[in-house]
Amino acid sequence: MKLKQKFFPFEYVFTLYLALQLLPFYTLSPITSIIILILLLITKYHFEAFRFNYFIYPLAQIIILATSNIYFRIVAVLLVIFLIDLLPVYEYPEPTGKYKVGYKSIHQGEGKNLNIAVFYPTTEQDFVNRNKHFDYLMEFSKRNYDGFCLIVSRYFPPLLLLPKFLIDIAHTFFKRLFLNVTIDAELISSPATGDKYPVIVFSHGLGAFNHLMSLYFREWASHGYIVFSVDHDEQIYLKWKKYEDFVSIRVPQLEVRRKQIKAALDYVYNPDKIDQLFNRKVSLNYDKVFMAGHSFGSATSVTVAHDDSRITAGLILLDPWLDPCGDHVFQKPIGKPMILIRSVQLDKMKPVRAKVLKFVETNRGMIFSGHYKNTTHNDVTDFMLTKPKDPRHVLRLSRKSDKTNREHQLILHYTITNEFLESVLKDKIQGDYSHMIDKMRNLVQELLSKYGKDGDFIYDV
């Protein structure tokens, strides 16, 4: 597993241009300097687009023009350099499975309101016909902005004054990231596990959309699974004062999500539609239909798994937020094997932690559960490729590099989820869930011996 950091040459051109203005022989007028800056910004937008640090270039230019104090001007340039390094962008790594990844999209229902992204194994790889990851992000820019408002309203309300287009600009670089999946590629002739294809149905979190876990969709598809990722278009930013109000707002949304997943399962369980999707006869393994979700999507997953027998294999719950779930979820076990991987960020929220641990206790003996140290809620989403570095890495004060940390985290998540899927798929568990849990514990310890240290993973059971 190797991550490659994306290089933005125009950002360094900006830095050199700003540094040039500190030299004694720089004699261009302020107006000329601003015109050059604007031309550089336009050129960068055309070739590279902008990311979260774009605001610092005009700000540094203003500081340099507004003061003759050399120390303030040097600090402005150093701040530009610091933010370039602080906010990296990593390209999508190659999946670890033996297959390439194909991609299709489904639009069903009245008004085409059921949207599903399909990732599947293929042997084709067409670098011309590969979709850019966040071509879709612009379609969901309102949802993305609402997610931003939801976060800052809680932690830094003054940022709500920022107009939407400034937030949109900060995400335009996503359109330059390639998923490296081939649109409408041919599905592999037969899966390695037999003549039927195993299925994973996925539900994303609040404020996300059905491509925001593509790191995992590509990985699972490369190992032979067909992944159906369902989109939930819902109202995200709503004003609330108490946490209980925030949860109650999401209860009716959870019911809508449940119906959307059931509609997706109707599609998956319709052989004619599957044959039409792949333009040939395709047999899905209806005995091995997994459900997976992140955050609010985990609440969706366990709610569906409780009352829909079409989830036949097991569940993968990534940093679940289960607070909107009904009481039955915490009182009656699902009766299927599960893995649940939490983050430290949500673990610090006592109500969230209490609900998750109650769910784990209810399903004791059938679930492998725990969390990694020093992890955030979005570390399992595609945003882990763009999250800020720990400042210690920027200042070279940490022994392990930021890139290495991200690679190891991906390896840990990939290996654990892949092992769980394979164990259930190949009936290695055979009803012995305690054996599965022991095996997952041993796997984690083995991984930590290579990529971390003992104690980095905290077990719930």
pLDDT of residue 454: 62
How high is the mean pLDDT of the chain? 86
What is the C-alpha to C-alpha distance for residues 181 and 32, in angstroms, rounded to an integer?
A: 45
44-98 confidence digits (pLDDT tens): 988 888 888 888 999 999 999 999 899 999 999 999 999 998 888 888 888 999 9
Q: How far is CA 1 from the centre of its chain?
A: 17
- Are the CB atoms for 171 and 137 separated by under 8 Å? yes
- Among the CATH numbers 3.40.50.1820, 3.40.50.800, 3.90.1150.10, 3.40.50.10470, which is that of 100-133+177-386? 3.40.50.1820
Output the pTM of the full model: 0.91
- Are the CB atoms for 54 and 173 separated by under 8 Å? no
If you average pLDDT over residues 139-148, what whole number do you get? 64
pLDDT of residue 423: 85
Alpha helices in 108-171 (DSSP H): 135-139, 141-155, 164-170
Comma-separated ranges of CATH 3.40.50.1820 domains in the chain: 100-133+177-386
Q: Which of 45-59, 140-154, 193-207, 232-246 has the weakest average pLDDT?
A: 140-154
Q: Is the dihedral of CA 298, 427, 269, 115 positive or negative?
A: positive
If you average pLDDT over residues 208-227, what whole number do you get? 91
Residue 185 token pair = 């590629």
State the DSSP string of 260-306.
HHHHHHHHHT-HHHHHHHHTS---EEEEEEEEEEETHHHHHHHHHHH
pLDDT of residue 197: 93
CA distances to 156, 241, 282 from 152, in Å: 5, 14, 46
pLDDT of residue 32: 94
- Are the CB atoms for 180 and 101 separated by under 8 Å? yes
415-435 confidence digits (pLDDT tens): 899 999 988 887 665 566 777
- Are the CB atoms for 176 and 10 separated by under 8 Å? no
Beta bridge partners of residue 119, listed in sequence order? 103, 227
pLDDT of residue 134: 45
List phi, psi (to 5°) of 302.
-70, -30
Judged against a pLDDT cut of 90, whether residue 312 lies above it is answered with yes
264-284 confidence digits (pLDDT tens): 999 999 999 999 999 999 999
CA end-to-end span of the chain, whole Å?
29
pLDDT of residue 376: 86
**Of the candidates 122, 382, 318, 106, the residue with the CA atom closest to the CA atom of residue 229:** 106
Residue 209 token pair = 């959309």
Judged against a pLDDT cut of 60, whether residue 36 lies above it is answered with yes
Strand locations in 303-364, DSSP E?
Answer: 315-318, 338-342
Output Rg (C-alpha) for the chain, integer angstroms.
24
pLDDT of residue 142: 60
- Are the CB atoms for 389 and 86 separated by under 8 Å? yes
Q: Which of 189-193, 221-225, 421-425 has the weakest average pLDDT?
A: 189-193
If you average pLDDT over residues 359-378, what whole number do you get? 88
Alpha helices in 96-140 (DSSP H): 135-139
What is the C-alpha to C-alpha distance for residues 96 and 302, in angstroms, rounded to an integer?
A: 28
What is the C-alpha to C-alpha distance for residues 406 and 428, in angstroms, rounded to an integer?
A: 30
pLDDT of residue 401: 78
